[in-house]
Amino acid sequence: MIARVVHPYNLQKALEHVVSNRGSAGVDGVKVSQLKERFPNRKLQLLDDIAKGYYYSQPILGVEIPKGNGKVRLLGVPTTTDRVLQQSVSQVIAPLFETEFSSNSFGFRPNKNARQAVGQSQDYIHQGLNHIVDIDLKNFFDEVDHCLLLNLVYRKVKCKTTMRLIRKWLRAPIQIKGKLQKRRKGVPQGSPLSPLLSNILLHELDKEMTRRKYKFVRYADDFSIYCTSHNGAKATAQALVKFLKMKLKLIINEEKSGIKRPVRFTILGFGFVPTYKKGSKNDY
């Protein structure tokens, strides 16, 4: 597998993807605009280090982004060179997992988008599933358990060298305001691999909801389940909270989670407004 990761065509495709995404420089200060000149000059040494096990990920740059509630979200920005290598790994391993992902998972996947997620939610509401379990995971990207995630990845990625790279990227320290901090859990937002890794972990949640025959919509770590009654929604919420805590080692944000009716529910920034017509029900 590592041969496919470092194949010239795959690396060039990854380089072009990182350049097109722009983004800021990491701890080494190398900008995306400098990549096309610098990366080819470093490529042979990087590939030799990877093959011999000498490659080490550089620290991640922690960048605080303001949120609407006065709080901040911490993004982890790898160096531009590490982003190219991560993208090259993602391009090779993503197809291995993509075929098994749920059709109700819409985030960061080929031919899937937020609009489809909102449309599926509306379809469920029109079907009369008007008791919605809305669950918000507390600091999801900061709480992902590395051992659990790596075991899930290893089910399909048996290549030791590729797994070593992923492990090093997960464990890379983060630099916040000039100080390095160790990382023993979490997937840095800002990494090309983080969307895929989050979907790999939360696919376990999708499988559990599918097994229980729930009607659900998931977009990355945002998900909701649609039920016919309040009691059914309450039982569903209790079961999922237990599964998240015991199996995935994740906790929910109780302030933002709950059972909601469509008029008080939003998904990916979209809300629902009733449009009543005589003789009809469930119009939103």
Residue-wise pLDDT tens digits, 11-56: 999 999 999 998 899 999 999 999 999 999 999 999 999 999 999 9
Q: Which residues does 91 contact at the CB level (< 8 Å), separation at least 6?
A: 10, 13, 14
pLDDT, tens digit (0-9, with 9 covering 90-100), for 70-116: 778 888 999 999 999 999 999 999 999 999 999 999 999 999 999 99
Q: Which residues does 12 contact at the CB level (< 8 Å), separation at least 6?
A: none
- Look at residue 279 in the predicted model and tell me its pLDDT: 58
Average pLDDT (253-267) is 93
Residue 74: exposed, middle, or buried by beta-carbon count in 10 A (0-12, 13-18, 19+)? middle
| Domain range annotation of the chain | 1-269
- Look at residue 34 in the predicted model and tell me its pLDDT: 95
For the cut 70, the answer to whether the pLDDT of residue 281 exceeds it is no
Q: Which amino acid appears at position 23 of this protein?
A: G
What share of the chain has pLDDT > 70, as a percent?
96
**pTM of the predicted model as reported, rounded to 2 decimal places:** 0.93
Average pLDDT (248-269) is 93
Integer-rounded Cα radius of gyration of the chain: 21
For the cut 60, the answer to whether the pLDDT of residue 278 exceeds it is no
Burial 217-243 (b: 16+ CB within 10 A, else e): bbbbbbbbbbbeeeebbeebbebbbeb
Confidence of residue 280 (pLDDT cuts 50, 70, 90): low
CATH T-level assignment (fold) for domain 1-269: Alpha-Beta Plaits (3.30.70)
Contact in structure between 251 and 138 (CB atoms under 8 Å): yes
What does the alpha-carbon distance between residue 160 and residue 164 come to, in Å, rounded to a whole number? 6
Confidence of residue 189 (pLDDT cuts 50, 70, 90): confident
DSSP letter at 252 equals: B
